[in-house]
Copies of this chain bind each other. A is one copy, B any other.
């Protein structure tokens, strides 16, 4: 490329980016509200819970207080718990007893979920908690261990600046409707199906 062609290319790029900047800046200026968000991370792909844990890290980076309730999961030896539980700004609750096919006891699963929700209700009334993660909450909703209307009502009545992140497959439509942000994690490819076991630091 000649020097002048080079200069012309750089100049075209600069003009195009200047126009793009105006569009982006205008969109940012329009988005001026502050609000406690309700986020739903659903779908079959890898990344739902880990994304919620990443938001915990972000929140802690700003000195915010975080509450976590893990439904379904019965184990307490995950990397996320080992890492976050020791943090003074985190309340971590493991509320499950394992998957339905592990417990094989419908009544006990229901009772466990309901007791868990009482703990969550207390967090949803506490304006001192800035972010609440309800990990794998969609399953007790789908199995009707918890009443969706009750859950939606409690979410609606939470402090106005409190963020809530809900994870799990097949999030109910009623939940997605009231959410501010919904991401569907689509499973394009997963190492597990190629015979690779769940890896520490990635999957647990």
Contact = CB atoms under 8 A, between A and B. Distances in A.
A39 to B, nearest CB: 7
Contacts of A82: 61-62
Given A54-B49, A181-B189, A201 B130 contact: yes
Given A61-B79, A180-B194, A183-B47, A163 B201 contact: yes
Contacts of A9: 106
Interface string A22-53: 00100110111111010101010111111111
Interface size class of A (residues with CB under 8 A): 35 or more
Contacts of A4: none
Contact of A57 (B54, B105, B131, B182): B54
Interface of A: 9-10, 13-14, 17-18, 20-21, 24, 27-28, 30-35, 37, 39, 41, 43, 45-62, 64, 78-84, 99-107, 130-131, 163, 165, 176, 179-192, 194-202, 204
